[in-house]
Amino acid sequence: MGEANLHDFLRHRPVYTVDLIGEPGLSAGNLSLDTIITENHRCSQEVRAFFKSVISSKFHFSTFIQTYFKNNVGKTYRDVVDVWYEEEERKRDPLYMKSIAPQFEYNQFIRDFFLDSANKGETREKAIEAWNEIKKLAGSNQKNKSLSTFYY
């Protein structure tokens, strides 16, 4: 079965449910593709088990999916399945880069350091050294990321 056919099958197959055990806010109901994302949604083990049963054992709560839950109250788990497959397809593009959440300034700085053409051929050690200098500066490290070439 081709991937497109598999995705179509998974999207339109009968709804399978996973019993909730102690899932706050959802009482003793069942999860299904028609489950609505609520404001108090939690990425619990039960929810993970549901999506693994629908998508595959490769399912995990990526930052992308967690953000989707947070920003899409009122949508359904069926929508989550669709965006999961869309994201997996985007990952196949060699130019694809995962977004880095704002709290991970170090990761963003290191990525930006190596994307800067002025740092072509530099080592990871040089990038870390630059980071250590940048974080000593006053203000947000995110704002200082443009200084990644300042020291070299």
Q: Which long-range contacts (CB under 8 A, 24 or more apart) does 37-46 make?
A: 37/69, 37/72, 37/73, 37/74, 37/75, 37/76, 37/77, 37/79, 37/80, 38/73, 39/73, 41/69, 41/70, 41/73, 43/69, 46/18, 46/20, 46/21, 46/22
Residues 39 and 81 in one domain: yes
Which three-class secondary structure state does DSSP give residue 81?
A: helix
**pLDDT of res. 7:** 62
Structure confidence at residue 106 (pLDDT): 86
For residues 17 and 83, membership in a common domain is answered with yes
pLDDT confidence of 82, banded at 50, 70, 90?
very high
Residue 45 inside a domain? The answer is yes
Beta strands in 1-152 (DSSP E): 18-19, 30-31
Residue ranges making up the domain that contains 122: 105-149
- 15 is a domain residue: yes
The Cα-based distances of 2 to 8, 31, 79, 87, 135 in angstroms read 10, 27, 21, 18, 49
Question: 142: pLDDT confidence band, cut at 50, 70 and 90?
Answer: low
**Same domain? 87 vs 129:** no
Residue 85 lies in a domain: yes
The answer to whether residues 7 and 50 belong to one domain is yes
Of the three residues 67, 91, 115, the one that is the final residue of a domain is 91
Same domain, yes or no: 84 and 139 = no
Structurally, how many domains does the chain consist of? 2
- The pTM of the whole model exceeds 0.75: no
| 100 occurs within a structural domain | no
Q: Is the pLDDT of residue 103 over 80?
A: no
Q: Is the residue at 32 inside a domain? A: yes
Same domain, 15 and 79: yes
Question: For residue range 107-139, what is the model confidence (pLDDT) as tens digits?
Answer: 888 888 888 999 999 999 999 999 988 888 877
